[in-house]
Amino acid sequence: MFNIEEELQNLPAKPGVYIMKNSDDEIIYVGKAISLKNRVRQYFQKSNSQGTKVRAMVSHIKEFEYIIVDNEVEALILESNLIKKHKPKYNILLRDDKQYPYIKVCLNEKFPRVMKTRRVLKDGAKYFGPYPSATAVNDAIDILHDIYPIRTCKVNLDKTKKNLRPCLRYHIGKCTGVCIGLGDEEEYREIIKKVLNFLSGKDETIINMIENNMIEASKNLEFEKASVYRDQLNSLLVLQEKQKIVSDTTIDQDIIAMARGLEEVCIQIFFIRGGKILGREHFLIEDNFSADRGEILSSFIKQFYIGAAYVPKEIILETEIEDLEAVSKWLEGKRGTKVNITVPKRGDKTNLIEMVSKNARDMLNKYGDKFLKKHRENIKALEQIQDILGLEDAIKRVEAYDISNISGVHSVGSMVVFENGEAKRSDYRRFKIKTIETPNDYGSMEEVLKRRFTRGLKEQESEEDLKMKGFSSFPDLIMMDGGKGQVNIALRVLENLGLDIPVCGLVKDDFHTTRGIIYNNKEYNMDLDSQGFKLIYKIQEEAHRFAINYHRSLRSKDMFKSELDDIKSIGHKRKVALLKHFKSIEKIKSASVEELKVVETMNIKSATELYNHFRKER
């Protein structure tokens, strides 16, 4: 029997992390302390100064644990990882912990590449970002690759193999062929300079060119082409439209401020790079426990930066945080150089804080009520599912699995994740089935689950930062797209791995429409208008959509690869020549023998064989 009074007397006066648990052995709060003895005892001292949150939490504490570490910075890191893993009820939780994309220009390479990344390394490359829109980043990189002959291959140019064949981009004039020793390094570097100037906001040549192309296409009544240019233009403007100059400084800064409602908090962060606003993001947090502003900001900073790809030189806050010194040292360790955390009282930086604060208030007014309403609906839905299944523990994280294939070809599995009723796309995973060659949904599902949870167990055993891992968090409920058979497969996999996680399946009617769930070999029909059923249906559709999209992408790649590769007389050179001449597979299919034979490297025999091959398919 745990005796709180006795355990309080045995607490060490050392730095560490303390873990509060309730009567169900559920972790309800995680905190850190310079002195565990002093900090933990404070919770159990009767005082009028204790806030609503502390009194509510203490009333539910039945026991506590602690972990001793060497210093406060280590305690901060451990605290953040445990909060990330267990999501305790009384900790302030950042619901959206996505990592933002950057554009990386590999200046450390002889012939630099331009690519998207979510990790910023000290490798001599130039990074631009972070950008809130991954779609805009992808589009911008595609446009740069289309306009400039920049290489996209991963070939190590210092160890180029003999007889290396250039890729298709070289043959269609989109790359200079540096992988085979072609292309001038000085000219290539001039191209990279133009790219750097564009990404820095110093050169609008690309934007002007695309805008002129759009206008020209419209004049010529080529509206489909004009719409393509319009979409390209919009993507580029997304990257540049926020680059308003707000500071004379050239150092990178993050500006963080907050606005508070009755039951919710909006935290706004602006990313300033080289004196320009490069992007911004807001986060809505439920505020049931009346924590002070400094505590909220401290929790936000630790959860936001624990997995951030990049830490700026300066972070400007609206309010002092209690553990400023420990947070500064921790961020310094992540960045590798000193990080200044400041709370300005006067001057230009106070103007920056005021600007961010105004945006936080605006976002709170705009989304606060919607956030609370949606959050309450989600909590109600999860509680309904918990009640129907008779689960003791609350459902926070749900993982749903689906298999997609056509006649066993390109079998793929999907894993989608919902936390507190909302899709957490950063934790979605796709699996290309490796061990099953024939149509076998059960075998495919078994492979997917084995890979997912085996990897998760290995990650949990590792001492690395949990935030940077994709499989370390385990669900409170697993949802299978199939019925009893798939549920039993999942239970068998979990049992073999020593895991105890509830698994439910879906019950479908004669029209393959879901009408309920199956759990512990018992079917439960649900009210189709209930919040619980709506959430189940939403999760199911998302898992199906995610699997289908991955399956289609693999099929489309295979179609492009195989439709010419399967013809004996069409080798690599002929395939490249045909694609360069006709631009698409469809045009090759519809070409006559006469049109085919005039293509470079083709002759009457190969043209006839190619022509007949596509006619047989019909």
End residue of a domain, out of 177, 203, 229: 203
What percent of the chain has a predicted confidence (pLDDT) above 90?
28
What pLDDT, on the 0 to 100 scale, is given for residue 344? 93
CB 253 within 8 A of CB 314: yes
Task: Note whether 158 and 281 are same-domain residues.
Answer: no
Question: How many beta carbons lie within 10 A of that of residue 111, not counting itself?
Answer: 20
Task: Note whether 330 and 464 are same-domain residues.
Answer: no
Q: Residue 17 pLDDT more than 70?
A: yes
Task: Note whether 534 and 598 are same-domain residues.
Answer: no
Strand order in the sheet with 114-117: 114-117, 102-105, 126-128
Task: Note whether 427 and 536 are same-domain residues.
Answer: yes
The enclosing domain of 261 has a CATH number of: 3.30.420.10
Let me know if residue 235 belongs to a domain.
no
How many domains are contained in the chain? 5
Retrieve residue 131's tokens: 């950008």
The enclosing domain of 61 has a CATH number of: 3.40.1440.10
Rg, C-alpha atoms of the chain: 29
What pLDDT, on the 0 to 100 scale, is given for residue 184? 84
What pLDDT, on the 0 to 100 scale, is given for residue 220? 82
Task: Note whether 427 and 467 are same-domain residues.
Answer: yes
Let me know if residue 609 belongs to a domain.
yes
End residue of a domain, out of 509, 527, 557: 557
Task: Note whether 323 and 439 are same-domain residues.
Answer: no
Retrieve residue 442's tokens: 């059960």
Q: Residue 159 pLDDT more than 70?
A: no
What pLDDT, on the 0 to 100 scale, is given for residue 226? 84
Q: What is the residue whose two structure tokens read 């305790």?
A: 88
Q: State the Cα–Cα distance between residues 322 and 295, nearest whole angstrom.
A: 7
Q: What is the pLDDT of residues 502-518, one digit of tens each?
A: 999 988 877 777 888 99
Retrieve residue 447's tokens: 């492979």
Q: State the Cα–Cα distance between residues 5 and 397, nearest whole angstrom.
A: 34
Let me know if residue 269 belongs to a domain.
yes
Q: What is the pLDDT of residues 99-136, one digit of tens each?
A: 678 899 999 888 999 999 888 787 888 888 777 778 88
Task: Measure the N-to-C terminal CA separation of the chain; round to a whole number of Å.
Answer: 77
Helix, coil or strand: residue 556: helix
Q: What is the pLDDT of residues 487-503, one digit of tens each?
A: 999 999 999 999 999 99
Residue 129 falls in which region: left (phi positive, over 0), alpha (psi -120 to 50) or beta: left
Let me know if residue 232 belongs to a domain.
no
CB 61 within 8 A of CB 20: yes
Strand order in the sheet with 16-21: 27-33, 16-21, 63-68
Q: Residue 611 pLDDT more than 80?
A: yes
What percent of the chain has a predicted confidence (pLDDT) above 70?
89
Let me know if residue 183 belongs to a domain.
yes
Q: Residue 232 pLDDT more than 60?
A: yes
Task: Note whether 403 and 507 are same-domain residues.
Answer: yes
Cis preceding linkage at 130, omega within 30: yes
Task: Note whether 552 and 570 are same-domain residues.
Answer: no
Let me know if residue 388 belongs to a domain.
no
End residue of a domain, out of 203, 223, 244: 203
Retrieve residue 353's tokens: 């804080």
Give the pairing type, strands 27-33 and 102-105.
unpaired
Per-residue pLDDT band for 387 (boundaries 50, 70, 90) equals: very high
Q: What is the pLDDT of residues 256-270, one digit of tens each?
A: 999 988 778 899 999
Let me know if residue 457 belongs to a domain.
yes
pTM of the entire predicted model: 0.58
Task: Note whether 418 and 519 are same-domain residues.
Answer: yes
Let me know if residue 208 belongs to a domain.
no
Per-residue pLDDT band for 216 (boundaries 50, 70, 90) equals: confident
Residue of 269, 353, 235 whose CA lies nearest to 98: 269
Q: What is the residue whose two structure tokens read 């549920």?
A: 487
Average pLDDT for residues 347-357, to the nearest whole number? 90
Task: Note whether 39 and 142 are same-domain residues.
Answer: no
Task: Note whether 356 and 300 are same-domain residues.
Answer: yes
Q: State the Cα–Cα distance between residues 456 and 344, nearest whole angstrom.
A: 43
What average pLDDT does the structure give for the chain? 84
What pLDDT, on the 0 to 100 scale, is given for residue 19? 94
Q: Residue 20 pLDDT more than 60?
A: yes
- Domain holding 337, by residue range, is 253-368
CB 499 within 8 A of CB 512: no
Q: State the Cα–Cα distance between residues 180 and 163, nearest whole angstrom.
A: 8
What pLDDT, on the 0 to 100 scale, is given for residue 250? 73
Q: What is the pLDDT of residues 550-603, one digit of tens each?
A: 766 665 555 445 567 668 788 877 887 887 788 777 788 888 999 998 998 899
What pLDDT, on the 0 to 100 scale, is given for residue 561? 53
What pLDDT, on the 0 to 100 scale, is given for residue 275? 79
Q: Residue 163 pLDDT more than 60?
A: yes
Task: Note whether 177 and 117 are same-domain residues.
Answer: yes
